[in-house]
Chains A and B, each alone.
Chain A
């Protein structure tokens, strides 16, 4: 069963000292390394900062552009991982190990129909 983990940015990315940030990024690197190696993670990426986002809004068939991310900066998506695990319990357990001091992880099953 495939799930996408949508990883939000955390306050630590703005507030933590650069040494602390480096240490956390180190742990994140290890986390990805571990779960890539055992085949849990199918695909994952870190996204560039929310200030680089453009949102396309489509209404009545015509579109306009907005110079900001879809979600509020507080909950802006910082990255994602597609994982392959047995069930929701396994996906939630994995999300709970995401090694950051603060942030949110949305766990959403992939529609594989």
Chain B
């Protein structure tokens, strides 16, 4: 494969992992609803356990996403993780307390108490989704950094990327579009969390409350999502001249990307329709379709996010733009690993389908029967 084909292949893998991550964040969304959907202790236990059986999938996908980025586009990794470290550290911290919460919530004699761990789960659900959404939105809105590869020759300070803002990534939340994306992901995660709980839990009281919550969360999700997409299509984007690699602002760039890549357009439209269908079906016919929404909204989320990432990286676009210095913006061409590394890693990437297969099988095994109050009382391993 040519270097460009390898760079595109790796951007596809990054996009796929990102889209799976956003779908799997239904765990985070569900965690923000523990007290809203569960009014008694047994009900809360059911919710925590149905989410707890999936939390590792989200966690490992997040780590794989970071690892894949490191392997394929190390300049992004060093620029973003080295520069915008406050936002990434808070995200990481929010995921650390999630792991601690699931493992210690019901352990005897833990000194923090059950409620503290449930608050940890809420913090992870809210901060994790909003900040990841805001961080990903900077792929379209830009960040403040400088990249100078010649700095490697500076013995006193051989740092290629330098962050310009004193807030080191937290300034992302000062851009309204980033906030809108953060809130979109937050409400989407809650909607997916509700649909997942409806699919995996057999409890009338929780189902009844879920129906109400589906309305409450679906409406802001749709409003924020539409606002973001319209702004994305109308704002100028960061374009790359394929001849000389120069970056310039292009009006309606992401709209041009969407119309210039019909397959991506179809994936995006299909994804949006599937998500809406997955939400509307249970709302219109709750009795018959309440547990089927996730089968449409989940894959729909994957398709939509996958298409959005392709819009950010393909068709001569800078996927990590710099607003401090346009020419410092990162593209899949100027920020990738060497050809040798990409080829070697591409062979390794063929192991990923085996991991997917394992996840598919484990998921199917775990969800073969719905979780009930009786099962929680039986004992065995419970979070």
Q: Do A and B bind each other?
A: no
The residues of A with any CB-CB pair to B shorter than 8 Å are none
